[in-house]
Structure 1
């Protein structure tokens, strides 16, 4: 399909451009750049990861990027306005890093809690994902920077991700997995869309007809379809598809072989011309964005801090121990592995290099003040592997904490010297001094305990570590230089045991050489302290907790458990963390458990804690945002964007592993909360989830006083509703309005119920607000393989509910309203007063509507 045409001179340039030159334009000129063509007015375009920050095309830890919270944390806000602010900040970061297109957001769904990349994806619900992604894309592109939603489509697991054939029926494909992409394309018009590694129904996505229809034909997508990196697997089939750009490049499969395929007639030149037109369109958008530039950006730290708090989910707070009052405290014990080595972001392509990270203890100490004694204890370890040195443990001579001295060397000797801010280097070729083939990384390390430490390194390449000039560990893995997953995610580590004395510094020198053909490397110092027995460490943490007014125990996942590149095998917290939590709770009943994980984990102690706060991977302002929420300076603004099982065995979808190359989506429409609802109906004795989609507590209370159905302007249009809510507490708070729908008499295969609309509103204490919630007309349609999107001659019920777990009762309750068949929804003017069901709720005490009232 030809979506546009240019003025005659550009069309003539496309027509007369030699075929080999056209083909050259269809793949990149390196990891992050496209090819330029002056004859077409096509500039060189720079793209960069990723969804929670902009790493920049130089791939250097020295640049410093704003590190925003993980997608799961951002989505927990359910806040379109916040997502647009995040997009604006990312655009400003892109401009600062000389980037034209941001590779994000990641829009795949949380089909299974075991999917390793769930932290990078927004939610389990297609409507929630599509709406938040559209706001994110709008925020970026309004500033003249492009967005590239990914990964199109059905890319919900990491196992065998480049070869798996995901098998879905048409209704499931359109209603669940294509739906969020359709919403973002129609609402936000992204400049690019990334085709996924996987296949769908027998065809790799870079060869799949879905990129033509519905993406380009039905939805009218005018941008360019780019492959995921190294996801072009053929010459002819991929060229004949609607994939426009192969990255990175030059892509050999789209080189001379494609020129020959065009010459022999296997690939029509007109197909190539259409790809070129789309790249020229992208180039024009980029040029216009460069001329206009983004508006004045908001402060990155402020947005990162606010976004983190807005996504923190207060799961439990039965006795109201939160928020804490500094005036009532003399001591706080902060224990657990995430207290000392917090995870601010997930691993893989979504990672960035923050200029700083506010550690939890640092943020809490600053907020609590000098009058409160704060102690920290390790308590447990996440793994047996090595960790990066902490900022306070090392410094280059004459430099600040965490710094290193870098000596870049070439065949003739020293090429350059500089100081770096981190003990792990990530460098692309553009960030390496000219002529350098190796680098020495030096720092002074000061241990805080005496004993045998493991000192070493992690990385792909030829490396050796010297301690005070003595060689201690070495390895050569340069032959793996082209394995980008190993370089970025799964690099090996090497170490040696060294006896050190607390407070006595040692000089560490890491000598490293990369493969000469490597376009990217990552290498860094890695250490591990002497460990007491697990029982002894837990006892120390419990003793510290017992001596404090309140204990904050911080647990979470490690990079070996939750990352791009592999799926999870368990939802249990790694190591002895569950034992640690139980011991701390027993020692101090005023224990707040802080969960630092990007996606679902099992929490067998959740009902015993005084409070449980989920902070996800919260970005560089972790400590400050945590202090804001624990001390009540900010609300825990989050509600779960995905349903959390109490135990993995209870989850409706557990298997992410293909069988004979196929992964069948046998649950069909029943993803996430829908699967839990179906499971509850079919097997009443089945276990319920620990927490449903939409669950989240706050520091105030709300009462729903009415629900009004306004109707739709025309058949198939959106349905408009108003939810009247009063803040019955003493604090301002954010209310999340969730409207669910069902069709009890339907003849169509539908979920038990589904999220039909949502909105957030800040309501001052004691006041009420009329919250307008729009339910997209698509919420009442279904996909028919022969006819496409269809209405149905049936009655739908809609109702507000505090979370998905209350939806079934709410839809049969006093606030439920009915609408006619999707094809014949009555216009607004004809909706009778009876459709307003406010009196049913407002005539009775707030406590009589438990499905709707509660914490914010």
Structure 2
């Protein structure tokens, strides 16, 4: 016979009421203003969490720390504790996946808005737009009843071969930090947790599940961790995902850097979620900061016990270790406390909005991000914009003109309600000109972890493309990479820096018959450009999602003036990139270990310091307007370590139409006592100007941001002495250099 004391019964009733009240509030649709007035304090929530933990059984607590399906974890039905539902989606909420397999669930109501990939968002250099992007994405996740959105990704662009670079925010930690914080805030306004990934040093896909990264503490803290730190301390992200790779011999999903740096130094109070299959050890997972284990087995409840959810590292083995006294119950209590805190922020949040899907505002945001992120790289003889006029024949050549770019690519693949191709967008915009299209080349279908051969005769495609080019006044070649395996895709890296599928030969052939050639480059990565002289104009168009074709037509036609800037450097040769300079041990490693020999000199830091000329520099991007930066001034000549540095300058639009310029502020230490880059990005501002308009711009930064990570004290230090401030519109186009002193 079960016995209940009155005291325990009262406590249990209190817990049940506390857990169910949010659902009652949501069902009654209390107006938002009332919900805000009734907001529960964090102290009250923490007290409730303690009371809930007190009545959970050990088995229930352990069950909350590991998956029950591909994308969910268990709740506790008897107490009304809900399940936690997650979804992939740094740039769109992934279609529903089967409970126990990687196949699509086959739903008919899970089509979404596909937003541009994060390289495009980074290229916008617009933090306000990043928040709008995050909010729209969060609304879609909320509508789809997701509690955790598995994104954004902030791993640093170290090599142009990384198959997953298109999901990240570029090569510079300051830019990535500036863009990720508003993104997180936007998502989480919807009561959906952003899950920042992949912590840490997951900078390649090749051998990602086993490679051991060796990197200095300075590079770790100065290059690879700042965006994560900003996500935690400024963005207040509610979740963070571990990575597959090792760091100094230990898997990063259960690593000392989780407890020491993330949870202790940065005071992260959210949950750490494993990447799918990145947990490897029960004791380390328990001790070193992993809170929710996902994806360890690939067949779940299907074919046996080995990969059954109950046999995950944080499942029965964890339970057994606690019961036998090998591990403390305090470990699971901390994990459950964090999970319950996540719930009160998401699925137990009484102020949680309802969400929206595929609405007009989301498509407008997607299109705006796309147009602001497209980068004009070359524009000889004002090739762009192209006017729509009768008698004009435009040949559109290239598979990427019609190829679906939201499918494939791994976990970020999407199922949009629609995707407007570049060809469709151009056809829709150009009503007077004649548009003729031919494929030019074929790449094969996107399949994860496999390369499928092309099905059409490549020689025939080539011959037809040349014939079409001969007939045209203007040729728009739309090529680049795609989401195939060994291209821009999760699971492995590119094997070649050149354009794939015979595109260089095709460009050369088109040029022989028609020199009026523009290239719309669809990639998430830099590519080699030996063919650059054969083109008059080049647009870097990224993967743009649902409204891709409309945004591309906006820029090509001149309806929108391009204002994007490159978030990473384009090297001329692969070995010009720092990671590829030091041989195999630097990239991709020897199969076991890898050394980041370039240390802190990543991206433009490397090009500047080693005086290597890139093909296109970080921060570079042209416009249809002309801008002049002048009258650059510092508010002081000498600063103390407590000061703020304020830069004022004037930006003028001297062109014949409206546009936007991104003013970039870099700072470098003169004769530093430690190795430093010539300069580092410390501030930027996107300035919108009408024709003939001038604006006064102020950019401020704390002196503390000039520090380096001092390995002697395991903390940040700011050197006294002489510094130089550089202002320009690209890392290699500086219009003003000012000397100042720091005491």
Q: TM-score, normalised by structure 2?
A: 0.86
1:167 maps onto 2:228 in alignment: no
Q: In structure 2, the residue corresponding to 1:620 is in which secondary structure?
A: helix
Say if 2:142 and 2:191, in contact at 8 Å, map to a contact too. no
Displacement after TM superposition at 1:770 (Å): 1.8
Aligned-partner Cα distance in 2 for 1:301–1:358: 11
Aligned-partner Cα distance in 2 for 1:362–1:299: 21
1:780 maps onto 2:706 in alignment: yes
Aligned-partner Cα distance in 1 for 2:426–2:311: 50
The alpha-carbon distance between structure 1 residues 5 and 379, as it changes in their structure 2 partners (threshold 3 A), is: same
Aligned-partner Cα distance in 2 for 1:727–1:291: 45
Q: Which residue of 2 aligns with 1:663?
A: 594
**Paired residues, number:** 670
Picking from 715, 723, 734, the partner of 2:641 is 715
Say if 1:144 and 1:290, in contact at 8 Å, map to a contact too. no
Q: Which residue of 2 aligns with 1:81?
A: 128
Q: In structure 2, the residue corresponding to 1:28 is in which secondary structure?
A: coil
Q: Which residue of 2 aligns with 1:123?
A: 170
CA shift digits 1:103-122 (9 cap, x unpaired):
11010011111111111111
Displacement after TM superposition at 1:304 (Å): 1.6
1:32 maps onto 2:71 in alignment: yes
CA shift digits 1:694-733 (9 cap, x unpaired):
1111110001122232369973455332231000011110
Q: Which residue of 1 aligns with 2:692?
A: 766
Picking from 629, 641, 645, the partner of 1:704 is 629
Aligned-partner Cα distance in 1 for 2:677–2:275: 32
1:753 maps onto 2:674 in alignment: no
Picking from 340, 343, 353, the partner of 1:283 is 343
Aligned-partner Cα distance in 2 for 1:360–1:644: 24
Q: Which residue of 2 aligns with 1:819?
A: 740
Aligned-partner Cα distance in 2 for 1:778–1:556: 41
The alpha-carbon distance between structure 1 residues 10 and 109, as it changes in their structure 2 partners (threshold 3 A), is: closer
Q: Which residue of 2 aligns with 1:553?
A: 477
The alpha-carbon distance between structure 1 residues 565 and 550, as it changes in their structure 2 partners (threshold 3 A), is: same
CA shift digits 1:305-325 (9 cap, x unpaired):
221111111110021011111
Picking from 599, 603, 610, the partner of 1:679 is 610
Aligned-partner Cα distance in 1 for 2:143–2:320: 41
Aligned-partner Cα distance in 2 for 1:721–1:298: 39
Displacement after TM superposition at 1:643 (Å): 0.3
Q: What is the RMSD computed on CA atoms of the aligned residues?
A: 2.3
Picking from 606, 625, 633, the partner of 2:532 is 606
Q: Which residue of 1 aligns with 2:331?
A: 271
Q: Which residue of 1 aligns with 2:91?
A: 52
CA shift digits 1:652-684 (9 cap, x unpaired):
21253222511111110000111122322xxxx
Displacement after TM superposition at 1:530 (Å): 4.3
Picking from 785, 792, 800, the partner of 2:727 is 800
Picking from 321, 327, 331, the partner of 2:389 is 327
Q: In structure 2, the residue corresponding to 1:756 is in which secondary structure?
A: strand
Aligned-partner Cα distance in 2 for 1:148–1:132: 15
Q: Which residue of 2 aligns with 1:476?
A: none
Q: In structure 2, the residue corresponding to 1:266 is in which secondary structure?
A: coil
Higher helix share: 2
Say if 1:69 and 1:345, in contact at 8 Å, map to a contact too. no
The alpha-carbon distance between structure 1 residues 315 and 39, as it changes in their structure 2 partners (threshold 3 A), is: same
Say if 1:159 and 1:656, in contact at 8 Å, map to a contact too. no
- 1:557-568 alignment to 2 at 5 Å? 557-558=481-482, 559-560=484-485, 561-568=487-494
Structure 1: any 5+ residue segments left out of the alignment? Answer: 389-487, 494-526, 681-685, 825-856
1:101 maps onto 2:27 in alignment: no
Q: In structure 2, the residue corresponding to 1:541 is in which secondary structure?
A: helix
Aligned-partner Cα distance in 2 for 1:733–1:552: 24
1:199 maps onto 2:246 in alignment: yes
Displacement after TM superposition at 1:492 (Å): 7.8
Say if 2:199 and 2:240, in contact at 8 Å, map to a contact too. yes
Q: Which residue of 2 aligns with 1:740?
A: 666
The alpha-carbon distance between structure 1 residues 647 and 191, as it changes in their structure 2 partners (threshold 3 A), is: same
The alpha-carbon distance between structure 1 residues 750 and 649, as it changes in their structure 2 partners (threshold 3 A), is: closer
The alpha-carbon distance between structure 1 residues 628 and 786, as it changes in their structure 2 partners (threshold 3 A), is: same
CA shift digits 1:376-428 (9 cap, x unpaired):
1121223xx4x38xxxxxxxxxxxxxxxxxxxxxxxxxxxxxxxxxxxxxxxx
Aligned-partner Cα distance in 1 for 2:727–2:47: 55
Q: Which residue of 1 aligns with 2:53?
A: 14
Say if 1:331 and 1:373, in contact at 8 Å, map to a contact too. yes
Say if 1:47 and 1:57, in contact at 8 Å, map to a contact too. no
Q: Which residue of 2 aligns with 1:223?
A: 270
Picking from 650, 658, 661, the partner of 1:724 is 650
Displacement after TM superposition at 1:346 (Å): 5.8
1:343 maps onto 2:405 in alignment: yes
Displacement after TM superposition at 1:599 (Å): 0.7
Displacement after TM superposition at 1:294 (Å): 5.8
Displacement after TM superposition at 1:363 (Å): 1.2
- 1:842-853 alignment to 2 at 5 Å? none
Aligned-partner Cα distance in 2 for 1:675–1:693: 11
Q: In structure 2, the residue corresponding to 1:745 is in which secondary structure?
A: coil
Aligned-partner Cα distance in 2 for 1:155–1:4: 36
CA shift digits 1:762-803 (9 cap, x unpaired):
111101112232335443011112320111112221121221
Say if 2:122 and 2:169, in contact at 8 Å, map to a contact too. yes
Say if 1:645 and 1:689, in contact at 8 Å, map to a contact too. yes
The alpha-carbon distance between structure 1 residues 192 and 56, as it changes in their structure 2 partners (threshold 3 A), is: farther
Aligned-partner Cα distance in 2 for 1:694–1:378: 32
Say if 2:374 and 2:541, in contact at 8 Å, map to a contact too. yes
Q: TM-score, normalised by structure 1?
A: 0.75
Q: In structure 2, the residue corresponding to 1:228 is in which secondary structure?
A: coil
1:791 maps onto 2:718 in alignment: yes
Q: In structure 1, the residue corresponding to 2:389 is in which secondary structure?
A: helix
